[in-house]
Amino acid sequence: MNLTSAPQVKKLLAEHDLRPKKRLGQNFLIDRNVLDRIVSASGAGQGVNVLEIGPGLGTVTQELADTGAKVVCVEADRELIPVLEDVLADRNVEIVNQDFLKIDLPAFLKERGGGRWVVVGNLPYYITSPIITTLLDSKQMVSSIILMVQREVAMRLQAKPATDDYGSLSVFVQYHCEIESVMKVSKNVFYPVPDVDSEIVKLTVREKPAVCVRDENLFFRVVRAAFGKRRKTLLNALSSSAEMGWDKETAHRIIENAGIDGGRRGETLSIEEFGTLANRFQEK
Ligand code: SAM
């Protein structure tokens, strides 16, 4: 079924007596070019496992299935399930009606044959971060993630140190993944038109994290503490963080041993420098 135009989408919704639900971020893709770019970036094909989050009307899903990939899609809206069954009728797609954030992902993927999965999602923007975190918590089962995200979030994911967009989400994602921008997407390629522009990003899970740290939990605690008070110096941010529990003298010694100037702001530190800092603390 061709769903890459607003009249076709409206017709399909009307046939099922449905309207797009704002609370579930339902803005359906209606652009052929963008659709092709998503499918091509996913690398879907014979022998590839694809998990799609939020298939909506099945616009992207049907194209993914037509590549010969094994496709499982998870849609939270019960009312869209009959639409998906209709659109995907002759295709080999498993449709699951669940809130993705309530799934036990490792168990869910194991039940479906395990292995590694490519994840595709044109997501409601308010759940982008928890979805990325959920996926990367199971990164041994995920090879890459192709996401349509709000333009601002795409900038945060790709941000470099000492920029306004750089934050703990940037460090978290760049630590686990290589990131590339697939394309910038105008808000006019959706029905209904959302308030913001989007971008498609591809996160390829690294074989090894971007830096070698001895204790990942500690590394992310340091990162969170440094960004928690991003206008403070690194020394003040780390020594006043309840999560770190460092007094000023300890923080000073660790930062100095790491060869970092404690007068810098945490937001100027590279991932490597955060790694050195966490490793120095471990040695102490
Ligand atoms: N992929 C479709 C497309 O490109 O046209 C639909 C995209 S729409 C932006 C987001 C979809 O995610 C909607 O179908 C919505 O119902 C679904 N959704 C929202 N929250 C979800 C959740 N927690 N788990 C699974 N699906 C969800």
Would you say the CB of residue 34 lies under 6 angstroms from ligand 1?
no
Q: Is there a domain that residue 57 lies in?
A: yes
- Asked whether residue 138 falls in the same domain as residue 176, the answer is yes
**119 and 232 in one domain?**
no
- State if residue 38 touches ligand 1 by the CB under 6 angstroms criterion: no
Determine whether the shortest distance from the Cβ of 211 to ligand 1 is under 6 A.
Answer: no
Q: What is the pLDDT of residues 244-282, one digit of tens each?
A: 888 899 999 999 999 999 999 999 999 999 999 999 887
pLDDT range class, residue 1, cuts 50, 70, 90: confident
Separation CA 139–CA 144 (nearest Å): 9
Whether residue 67 has pLDDT greater than 70: yes
> Cα angle at 216 between 115 and 263, to 5 degrees?
145
Per-residue pLDDT at 208: 96
Average pLDDT of 165-189?
Answer: 97
Q: Which of 176, 205, 234 is the last residue of a domain?
A: 205
Would you say the CB of residue 99 lies under 6 angstroms from ligand 1? yes
Average pLDDT in the 100-128 region? Answer: 95
Q: Which residue's alpha carbon is at the smallest distance from atom 21 of ligand 1?
A: 76
User: Which among 181, 205, 229 is the end of a domain?
Assistant: 205
Q: Structure pTM? A: 0.95
245's torsion region: left (phi>0), alpha (psi -120 to 50) or beta? left
Among 148, 179, 205, which residue terminates a domain?
205
Nearest residue (CA) to ligand 1, atom 12: 54
Say if residue 55 is preceded by a cis peptide, omega within 30 of 0: no
Q: Whose CA is nearest to atom 17 of ligand 1?
A: 54
Q: Is residue 283's pLDDT more than 70?
A: no
pLDDT in tens, 182-204: 999 999 999 999 999 999 999 99
The answer, yes or no, to whether residue 284 has pLDDT greater than 80, is no
Residues 166 and 43 reside in one and the same domain: yes
Measured CA to CA, the distance from residue 279 to residue 42 in angstroms comes to 36
172 lines ligand 1 (CB under 6 A): no
- The verdict on 25 and 165 lying in the same domain is yes
* Overall domain count for the chain: 2
Please work out whether the CB of residue 63 comes within 6 Å of at least one atom of ligand 1. Answer: no
In sequence order, the 6+-apart residues with CB closer than 8 A to the CB of 7 are none
Does residue 210 form part of some domain? no
Give the range of the structural domain holding residue 110, as residue numbers without chain letter: 6-205
Domain identity same for 195 and 221:
no
